[in-house]
Amino acid sequence: MKLRRTVAFSRRALLQFRHDRRTFAFVLIMPLLMILIFGYTFGGDVKGIAIEVVNNDTGILAGTSPVLPNGLLLTQKVTDNFDIDTFSMHKNTNSSNARQIVHDGKAWAAIIFPENLTENFLTTVMTKDMSHSPKIEIYIDASNPTIAAAVIKEVTQSIQITFKELSISLNISQIEMPIVIEQVYAYGGGSTRFIDYFAPGVISFAIMMVTTMITIILFVNERRNGTLQRLLVSPASESEIVVGYALAFAVIGIIQSIVVLIAAILLFDISIVGNIFLALIVLLLLAFGHQGLGILLSAGAKNELQAIQFIPLILFPSILLAGLFWPIESIPSYLQPLSFVIPLRYGIDAERSIMLRGWAIGEIWVDIIVLVLFALLTLSASILLLKRRN
């Protein structure tokens, strides 16, 4: 091996980078972007979970109990022990209304403190008769097992801490928890596995990635091979070209979605509570929007190699900020607003709502509207891009 020749190869490759500043920037910026995004978003604790708290207890007034001369409102004690970062708490006076809010997907859980909670608690503690144990109801949306687990853990821990604090002032020991936590499921039934939660996200993600990349590569080839020029000289309008391709990909998207859904059902036994056709329509809307995005991005790539450089740009924000693997609530609060501009967020949200909560179009209309607008925006911009002449 001749050192001189070997160095010549290295030198030529490095000089190429010098002339291709875009690739050079990609090589430097991409790992930096990855470490920043992963570092700030990966595996954080779930925070800011929206919950409703209903207190039906009047507590024990000061001077009415010899063991608690200062009185006690157990609800206050328990909620004071909630971690302020974990919950975004809203006080509600009506149990039915609080449950409805959870049912509508506006909060993840309603924690309902019953009437005579403090009194029954005190009776149980003093008599050591567990038959009087009061029940705190957690009405929970368990379609997201990570959030459901975080809610139950936080409530349980807060009750345990409260009980420990009171044990000292009441001078009691060797007694099991005198409060029962009753979990009532709005969605998920408590049997939701991580794969059930994960599958709708992965299906949406797969459709998004494949559609975007195929469109970029196809249009890069159209430009590079000169076929696009030929089409633009024909009587075909730019909108006919874009919509024509969109329809072709719609067919591919439908086949792709059906295959992925069937595989998920057969291999992983995932539960689909809602309408599977609505799930397909959402996937199609997601595909349409990303076709438009693919056409727009293709204008920035001269060949397939440059097209590949777009992958991380689409991939990482989608993985990290759209709620694919972990809930958006676990992303640092200052990064959470970014998730609103990621279309995949709405696709995943709609798919999960359909497949896990059984929601219909009436409940996911916001997601649908955003996806329709995204598709209209990107496809219209693609048409304008093709119309552009230097």
Partner 1 sequence: MTFEQTFDTPTKIVEIQRLRKTFGKFTAVDTLDLTIDKGEIYGLLGPNGSGKTTTIKLLCGLLRPNAGTIKILGQPLPCKSIMNQVGYMPQDTAIYLDNTVHENLFFFGGIYGMTKENLEKNEQNMLEFVNLQDWRGSLVSTLSGGMKHRLSLACALIHEPNLVFLDEPTVGVDPELRATFWGYFESLVKKGITVIITTHYMDEADHCSRVGLLRQGCLIADGRPRDLKKSVGVDSLEGAFLLLAGRKKP
Q: Which residues sit at the interface with partner 1, rule CB under 8 A?
A: 225-227, 229-237, 389-390
Q: How far is CA 105 from CA 185, 257, 275, in A?
A: 13, 26, 18
* CB of 110 or CB of 386, closer to partner 1: 386
What is the helix (H) or strand (E) element at residue 139, kind and residue range?
A: strand 135-141
Closest separation in Å from C-beta 260 to partner 1: 24
With respect to partner 1, which residue has the nearer C-beta, 251 or 341?
Answer: 251
CA distances from 160 to 40, 153, 157, 166 (A): 31, 10, 5, 10
CB of 387 to partner 1, least distance (A): 10
CB of 221 to partner 1, least distance (A): 9
Least distance between partner 1 and beta carbon 313 (Å) = 27
Q: How far apart, in whole angstroms, are the C-alpha atoms of residue 376 and residue 59?
A: 56
Query: Cβ distance 258 to 280 under 8 Å?
Result: yes
User: CA torsion, points 253, 257, 263, 264, in degrees to nearest 10?
Assistant: 140
Closer CB to partner 1, 140 or 301, in the complex = 301
Which ranges in the chain belong to alpha helices (H)? 3-19, 21-41, 74-80, 95-103, 117-127, 145-170, 194-225, 227-233, 238-268, 276-298, 304-308, 310-321, 336-339, 343-352, 361-387
Query: Least distance from C-beta 210 to partner 1, angstroms?
Result: 18
Helix 238-268 and helix 194-225, axial crossing angle in degrees, nearest 10: 150
Sorted by sequence, the CB contacts under 8 Å of residue 213 that are 6+ apart come out as: 294, 307, 311
CA nearest to 149, candidates 272, 274, 329: 329
Least gap, CB of 254 to partner 1 (angstroms): 21
Of 91 and 230, which has the nearer Cβ to partner 1?
Answer: 230
Toward partner 1, which CB reaches closer, 4 or 389? 389
CB nearer partner 1, residue 172 or residue 210: 210
Rounded Cα distance between 37 and 321, Å, is 9
Query: How near is the Cβ of 222 to partner 1 at its closest, in Å?
Result: 9
Q: Of 231 and 335, which has the nearer Cβ to partner 1?
A: 231
Residue 53's H or E segment, with its range, is strand 49-55
State the minimum distance, in angstroms, from the CB of residue 19 to partner 1.
Answer: 20
Pick 5 or 389: Cβ nearer partner 1: 389
370 token code pair: 């955003």
